[in-house]
Amino acid sequence: MKVNVHAVNFNVDKKLVDFTDERVNKLEKFYDKIISADVFMKVEQTSEKENKVVETKVIVPGDEFIVKKTCKSFEEGIDLSVESLERLLLKRKEKLRAHV
């Protein structure tokens, strides 16, 4: 699976890219037909502490899933979005299995 990390309006460091790759690649355990994943990270200009936005788009044959999380850190946002995507992918897998 190809994982693309996009940092909007800031420079992302190597550790964050590696962390993102590692977490997103774990999704293949739940659904093996994932084509690619795009992770967009941006910092919103607000006074709140939760200003890190992580938007994850996973493309599978015939569909795509998009999850958006706003957190205090990018790592937390990536973890939460991967957990949400796990549930979505498992749900899709069950639906496909029901039709076979």
pLDDT digits (tens, 9 = 90+) for 10-57: 889 999 999 999 999 999 998 888 999 999 999 988 778 889 999 999
Cβ 63 vs Cβ 92: under 8 Å: yes
Q: Is the pLDDT of residue 73 over 80?
A: yes
8 vs 46: which has the higher pLDDT: 8
Beta strands in the chain (DSSP E): 2-8, 36-43, 52-60, 63-71
pLDDT given for residue 50 in this prediction: 85
Please state, rounded to an integer, the average pLDDT across all residues of the chain: 92
pLDDT given for residue 100 in this prediction: 66
Which residues, other chains included, contact 36 with Cβ-Cβ below 8 Å and sequence gap of 6+?
1, 2, 3, 4, 58, 59
Give backbone dihedrals phi and psi of 22, rounded to 5 degrees, phi first.
-60, -50
